[in-house]
Each structure stands twice: as structure tokens, then as C-alpha cells.
Structure 1
Amino acid sequence: MALLEKELAHFRHSIAVPGMGVAMQEKLKETRILVVGAGGLGSPVIQYLSASGVGVIGIADYGVINDEDMHRQPLYQMQDIRKHKAKMAASRLWASNPFSKHYPLLLQVKPDNIKQLLQGMDLVIDCSQHTATHLVINDACISEGKPFVIGEVHNWVSWWAGFNIAPVSGDAAASYRCALELIDDHRNFDAGAIGVTHGATGMMMVNEVLKFIAGVPDGLANKFYSMNFLHNTYEVSTLAPNATILADTRAKGVLTADDYGMEIVPDIED
């Protein structure tokens, strides 16, 4: 998809980066990404996906903006409080990059709609920080053959990983279900949330996604990244695909909301 003259000017500094160029900027323009969650983690993710020139960004979030969350959602402004995050995010992103299409999806991602949401998407980034949603996305993406990225932030510690992305070695791609034990080791459900840890994690996730789109080998494939921002320790682990889990997931497909322990919220009337 050829860039307009105005896009060439808008993205000229990105195009000038070694290894990027016009062809890669055009590839970003052709990419369609579904982002689930537009809160503390989703906000920086969608901001930098848009700023980088990703052509289509679906923003799925049924929640509203709250005053107490503003410290980690600088995409929004005080006059946006009590308005829907997805709708305000699309408006804010268009204001800084009118060349991308930002689609607000005011809905809960759930078993009944996940496959429809995946249609036409090249990649899913799950920023919901909600286990049941992670599992729904995992099962649907495995069933539909879609690559996906999940991240979470817990106080000073965060993690993010690529799933259903096969390494160049030819090994099988790991799923979220294959990594549950490792993920549990990086969770801390104590109260509190720091804005900067969400922002930094979101940017690091987008950096890996951009490398994936650019064809950099194995940056996300079977890789699990974690960062302890308090002690400045950064770790990379290799995920091991579990053939039994993968086969079982493919056989069962997307389960019911009850199976996931997911509470279904009423549809948004807007």
C-alpha cells in the first residue's frame, strides 16, 4: 500500500532508520491489529502503534475513564472522565495521526464475539490484564491461527510474551496455556499501580511488535520478557510448547463463558 506524499513527510524520521525505509513503512500501513484493553497498559500500546503508522487499530474496551486511573492513562484528559475509553482513544489518536484508522469497539471481548473480532486482523495484543480474557483470546487465536501478544503489570514487575508465533528453527509455537506456570511466578496482586511501569512496559511491547512486523527473527517467537523496575532487572525466558496442551486447545476450540469463569457484562448502549 503506497504512502501518500503527506505520509512520507509525516514518517520521514522513521523511514530514515536503518532497516526500515519506505517499504517497511508501507508494510506497517497494511497491518491490522486488534488491541484488547485501552487502560493503563493499552493506552501506551495504542499510542505508539498509531504513532508508528500501523494502518488499522481496533480498540476493544467497554470501560469508562476514571479520575483515579489518569496517572497511568495520559492518553486521556480530565474532560474525558466518565466517557468510554475506546471512543476517546480513537479520537485522540486520530488527532496525532490521521493516516491510520482507529476503530473503537465498545464491547466486552468474550466467547460469543471473539472469532468475529479476529476476522481480518493480523495480530492481537491483549492488554486487558484479565486471566479469563487471556484464555478466550488464546483459545480463539490458536483455533484461527492468529499470532498474539499478552502483557501484564503488577506493581514494580511486568511481563509480556509472544504466543502462537513459530520460531525460525521450525519448532512449534507456544501458547498462553503452555506458559501458565511461568506467568504465575511473575504475578503480584498486591494493591496499587504505578503509571510509569505501565507506560514503559507498553512501549517495550510495541517495540517487539514492530520488530515482528519488520520480520526480525524470533523477537517474539516463544519468548517471555519480564522487567523488575524497582531493581532494574530484565530477563528473557524461552517458552516451551506443550504438544498435549496445544492439541487439546485445538480440539476444544473456544469454550463457554462459564468454563472461563468470565462474568458477562451487558452490551453498551451508545
Structure 2
Amino acid sequence: MALTDGQLERYSRHIILKEVGVKGQKKLLNSKVLIIGAGGLGAPAAMYLAAAGVGTIGIADADEVDLSNLQRQIIHATEDVGKAKVQSAKETMERMNPDVIVHTYRKYVMADNIQELIRDYDFIIDGTDNFPAKFLINDACVMEKKPFSHAGIIRFKGQLMTYVPGQGPCYRCIFQSPPPKDAVPTCKQAGVIGAMGGVIGSLQAMEAIKYILGVGELLVGKLLTYDALKMEFRTVPLPKKVSTCAVCGDHPTITELIDYEQAVCDL
């Protein structure tokens, strides 16, 4: 497929990069990324992926836009309050770039639907806000051999890591199992500065783009942390893949997906 004159102009700043070029831009246009969560992380990730020309973007979220979301969830506007988040996100992305096909899934991502949901996508972005969802996404991606970006934000801090099948530890290798319910405060209880979502969500989009293009070093086997008050990034080496991991180890004990219970905070 040849790029149109409009596409050559739209993506010109990509195309002049030796790491991208016309070939790389075509890869982006032919790629599929699923974002789970249209909140503080998913919002900037979705907007940058749409702007970059990722050809098919799926977005899954069961909630409606609330006024308290707008301090950080920049894909939504005041007039979207009360609207389904996936619909608001779709409209914003389509206004940004008509090249992009947006699939919406207004549903909770659960053990009985996630594998089918992620199966057709090349890369998954975890924009969720609670430990049960994060472990579910990890386990499903391991089982379906899908790469994904994990991230979390709270107060003035954030973190992210990337999992690629066969190349490093999964989320469960590092954290093993969800903490007890209410053991860790949610962002509703602890607060979160709005721009944290922009910093970390944009980095998730960058990980997806690098994976699609096959360039650079991904955060595989590394945890990137960010402390906004100190304006400090740190890259922490992670242990290698754990042979006894319950889901990606040599003899996995988790062979079916599990829905855990936990209080939900709307990132």
C-alpha cells in the first residue's frame, strides 16, 4: 500500500526518522493496539497512538465520564460528562486522525472475556487502576502470548514495565499475587496529580510504538519509576523470568484465569 499525499504530510516528522521511514509508518498503519482503561493512563496513550497513525486501536472501559475524571483524563471534555468513556475516547481519536479505526468495548474486562478480547491485537496497554485487573491482564497476555505494557500511578509517583513473551519476567514473576483487599490505598483515597497520567501513559504509547517498529530497547526485565516531586527517573533491573512463576514458569499452576476482588479507583 502506498501512502497518500495527505499521509505523507501528516506523518512527515515520522518518515524523516531513519528508525521509521515510510516502511515503519506502514507498520504503524497496519498494526493493532488494545488499550484497557480509558482513564488517566489510557487517555494520553490513546491520543498519541491515534496521532501516530496506529491503524486499529481498541479501547475497553465500562464506565461513564465523571466530572472528577477531567483533572487527568484528557481524552474527555466537560461536555462528555455522562457519556460512555469509550464513546468519548473514540470521538476524540477520530477527530484527531481519520486514518484510525477505533473499536470500542463498553464492558468490564473479566476472566471470561479477556482472552477473546486481546487475541486479535498486536500489543496491549494496561491502563487499569487496580491489582485484580493488572494480574488478569498479565495472565491473559502470558497465555495468549501477547506483549503488553504495565503501568501505575498514585500521588506524584508512577512506574511501568513491558512484557514480551519469551524475553523476560512477567508481572506475576515480580509481584506474585494481588495484595489483600484494602491493603493498598486507591488513588481516590490517596490522590494523584493529573499530569502523572500524561507522563506515564505517553511512555506506554512509546513502548507500543517501539515494539511495532522493532526499534530501541523496551522495558523488558526493567521497571522504570518516576518521582515527580524529585523530578527523578530510575530504571530498576528486574530478576530474570522466574522458573517457578505460577503463570509463565516451567510448570504453571495457573492454567485458568481468575477474577480477584478489590476496591476500584478510577485512574
TM-score range, shorter chain: 0.7 to 0.9
SS at match of 2:121: coil
Distance 1:116 1:161, change over 3 A: same
Cross-structure match for 1:219: 218
Whichever residue aligns with residue 126 of structure 1, its letter is D
Unaligned 5+ residue runs, structure 1? 168-172, 265-270
**Structure 1: how far apart are the matches of 2:201 and 2:82?**
23
Q: Report SS of the residue matched to 1:50.
A: helix
Structure 1 residues 141, 56: closer, same or farther in 2, change over 3 A? Answer: same
The equivalent of 2:110 in structure 1 is 110
Q: Please give the per-residue CA displacement for 1:37-94, whole angstroms capped at 9, x wherever unaligned.
A: 0011110010001111111110000111111110101221111001111111001100
TM-score by length of 1: 0.87
Task: Give SS of 2:233's match.
Answer: strand
In 2, are the aligned partners of 1:31 and 1:122 still within 8 Å (CA)?
yes
- Structure 2 equivalent of residue 179 of structure 1: 174
Give 1:16 shift. Answer: 1.5
Q: Which position in structure 2 is the counterpart of 1:247?
A: 249
Take 2:251 and 2:198, find their aligned partners in 1: how far apart are those partners?
A: 32
For 1:219 and 1:164, locate their aligned partners in 2 and report how far apart those are by CA, in whole Å: 9
Distance 1:216 1:121 in 2: 19
Q: Report if aligned partners of 2:32, 2:54 keep a CA contact under 8 Å in 1.
A: yes
For the structure 1 residues 211 and 256, does the alpha-carbon distance in structure 2 shift closer, same or farther, using more than 3 Å as the test? closer
Taking the aligned partners of 1:237 and 1:263, their CA distance within structure 2 comes to 28
State how far apart, in whole Å, the 2-side matches of 1:124 and 1:85 are: 18
Give the equivalent residue in structure 1 for 2:200: 201
Write the mapping of 1:43-54 to structure 2, written as runs, cut at 5 A: 43-54=43-54
Q: CA offsets, 1:5-42, max 9 Å, x none?
A: 32122111221123211000000111111100001111
Match runs of 1:246-265 below 5 Å: 246-247=248-249, 250-257=252-259, 260-261=260-261
Alpha-carbon displacement from aligned partner over 1:79-133 (angstroms, at most 9, x marks no partner):
1001111111001100110001111110110001011101211111010121111
Determine helix, strand or coil for the equivalent of 2:8.
helix
Residue 170 of structure 1 is matched in structure 2 by none
Percentage of identical aligned residues: 30
Contact 2:136–2:258 (8 Å) recurs in 1 = no
Q: 2:57 is paired with a residue of what secondary structure?
A: strand
Report the Cα distance in structure 2 between the residues aligned to 1:111 and 1:243, rounded to whole angstroms: 24
Total equivalences in the alignment: 254
Answer whether contact 1:60 1:104 (CA < 8 A) is retained. Answer: yes
Show CA shifts across 1:173-232 (max 9, x none).
211101217x99xx8755212111111111122222222222125322222111001001
Q: Give the 3-state SS of the residue equivalent to 1:89 in structure 2.
A: helix
The AA in structure 1 aligned to 2:119 is Q
Contact 1:61/1:85 (<8 A) preserved: yes
Distance 1:107 1:25, change over 3 A: same
> Closer, same or farther in 2 for the Cα pair 1:54/1:84, shift >3 Å?
same
Q: Which moved more, 1:90-99 or 1:212-221?
A: 212-221
Instruction: Look up the match of 2:77.
Output: 77
CA spacing shift, 1:126–1:249, aligned 2, 3 Å: farther
> Does the 8 A contact of 2:145 with 2:165 survive in 1?
no
2:165 counterpart of 1:161? no
Structure 2: 5+ residue stretches without partners: none
Runs (4 or more) in structure 1 with deviation over 3 Å come to 164-167, 187-190, 248-251
